[in-house]
A and B are shown apart, each in its own frame.
Chain A
Amino acid sequence: MHIQEKQAWLELAVMTATLTLFFVLVELVGQGRHSVAYAAFGLLGLAGAARLIGRRERKAGNVIMDERDHDIERTATLLGYGVLWALFVGAALAPFFILGANAVMPVPTDKFAMTPMVAVCALRLARSVVTISLYRRGSHGREV
């Protein structure tokens, strides 16, 4: 398994855990205390462990990333931003279609302030899923 794919698996696990914990906390702590759910973003620190993956290979001077890996990275980032944009447009339009054109929607400011963090997690989650799928769709044969 390529180093970038291992890093994507770690990122997928960390982002899934973070978002799950965040939404569980938002539900548990109730209205008016949403900022407590910020604690979930502490898990993002675990994503830093991705730098440890492939350290040995880097020290040995082996080729870690070549043009194909950069292609995958670029595609995953583009699609990740695409997913983020789709979520943003969907979230902006959903109230209009669900509540109607003249509805007023009160959103607590602390909940609103969390959206950038959630967006970053969603972006990185989408990016890791695309990275893994692009590596999976490539060949992973044995040495022949």
Chain B
Amino acid sequence: MAEKSDLRNRIRRLRFDHGEMTQQELADRAGVTRQTIIALEAGRYNPSLLLAFRIAKAFGEPLESVFQLDDSVCPCQPPAKPA
């Protein structure tokens, strides 16, 4: 829980891009406490899928534009497309 998160996120950037939304405003929209938003921004917490979707929805952005998996954690390659 306290380890560095395996997910990178753009929450802080997106807050500023959305009219300097405060952490409390985002927390209210996502239905969490401000401390959780702080932990997410600091990369100290991996959100559940549900929370990740709620945060993405609060910004009106697709999930993958808010959260990205750290490549060093999972150097996964997408399956090759059939020729």
Contact = CB atoms under 8 A, between A and B. Distances in A.
Interface of A: 2, 63-69, 71-72, 75, 134-135, 137-141, 143-144
Contacts of A141: 38, 41-42
Interface residues of B, number: 24
Contacts, number: 63
Best-buried of B28, B31, B39 by chain A (most CB within 10 Å): B39
Secondary structure type dominating chain B contacts: helix
Secondary structure type dominating chain A contacts: loop
Interface of B: 1-2, 12, 22-24, 27-28, 31-36, 38-39, 41-42, 44-45, 47-48, 50-51
Contacts of B35: 2, 68, 135, 138-140
Report the 9 A-B pairs with minimum CB-CB distance, sorted nearest first. Answer: A139-B42, A137-B2, A66-B32, A68-B36, A138-B39, A139-B38, A2-B35, A139-B39, A141-B38
